[in-house]
Amino acid sequence: MVSNLAGVKAVLFDLFDTLLLIEHDEGSVKVNEECLRNVWKFLSENGVNVSYGDFIQAYSEVRDQLYERIHRSFEEPHFAFRVSQSLAKLGYTYAPTSHIAIGAANAYSEEFIRHVRPDKDAAFVLQSLVKHGYKTGVISNFAIPECVHELLTIYGLKDFLGVVIISAEVNRRKPSPEIFFAALNALGVEASNSVFVGDTPDIDVRGAKKAGMKTILVQRKNVSVISTEDTPDFKVNNLREILEILLE
């Protein structure tokens, strides 16, 4: 159907708000707030005696400083590092590898998983692509890799994926081309023979294009594409339309 997708051998996907959907708001409660409250509850039950307000203040300071570095370097440390640094501000010394920091990351994941569901077409589209000989994979920006692997297993998507690359596992996040290269190398596919599907122009589209991949933007929300480097090769309104582009 589309000439510049001829020769595509691999279809790689963003995860959140592409294959898996996050319930961003439930009434007046935000998902991240619920997850952080679960972290604080875990810490409180394991010897960290600080108020929720003090914890959130310390966490917010650490997160903001970390994001400033991330925007410059595209590095992605594990969420446990964030917890460790937050606790240090509160007078507690726990390494990122400690059972407290890891347990806190698990507490975040436990709550986060409750607010995630698969796109209704995700399994069908992945299965169809594999059936037609495409290699498939996921490239996700997320600070808790264990959570991603658990979600993919819970919703039966992992069996249809040849590679799963999560930013905190490789210490690189989109739009850095390096995280895309890690996935392509694992699949043994050239960038020119691959396409990336995501929902965010300045992260998914920009990064994939820098890596030399073709791009498909899933229009989940109102997003403005204001730069040529963020302009996708194709736009779709749902995942099934990807099959129409690739298989006809």
Question: Tell me, what's the pLDDT at 112?
Answer: 96
CB 119 within 8 A of CB 16: no
At residue 3, the pLDDT reads: 45
Query: What is the tens place of the pLDDT at every residue in 38-65?
Result: 999 999 999 999 999 999 999 999 999 9
pLDDT band of 6, cuts 50, 70, 90: confident
Per DSSP, the residues of 161-211 read -SEEEEHHHHT--TT-HHHHHHHHHHHT--GGGEEEEES-IIIIIHHHHHT
Which structure tokens are listed for 229?
């480097």
Say how many residues make up the chain.
248
CA distances from 143 to 108, 230, 248 (A): 11, 24, 37
Q: Percentage of the chain surpassing pLDDT 90?
A: 87
**Arithmetic mean of pLDDT, 163-190:** 97
Query: 62 with 89: CB under 8 angstroms?
Result: yes
Mean pLDDT score across all residues of the chain: 93
The residue with greater pLDDT, 247 or 150, is 150
pLDDT at 61: 97
> pLDDT class for 71, splitting at 50, 70, 90?
confident
How wide is the angle at C-alpha 152 spanned by C-alphas 151 and 156, nearest 5°? 115
Distance, in Å, from the CA atom of 67 to the CA atom of 63, rounded to the nearest integer, reads 6
Q: What is the pLDDT of residue 89?
A: 97
Residue with the larger pLDDT of the pair 25 and 90: 90
Question: What is 102-146 written as a DSSP string?
Answer: HHHHHHHHHHHHTTEEE-TTHHHHHHHHHHTT-EEEEEE--S-HH
- pLDDT at position 220: 79
Question: pLDDT tens digits, residue range 178-217?
Answer: 999 999 999 999 999 999 999 999 999 999 999 999 999 9
Segment 100-129 mean pLDDT: 97
Report pTM: 0.92
pLDDT in tens, 15-41: 999 999 998 665 445 899 999 999 999
Q: Please state the rounded mean pLDDT for residues 80-106.
A: 98
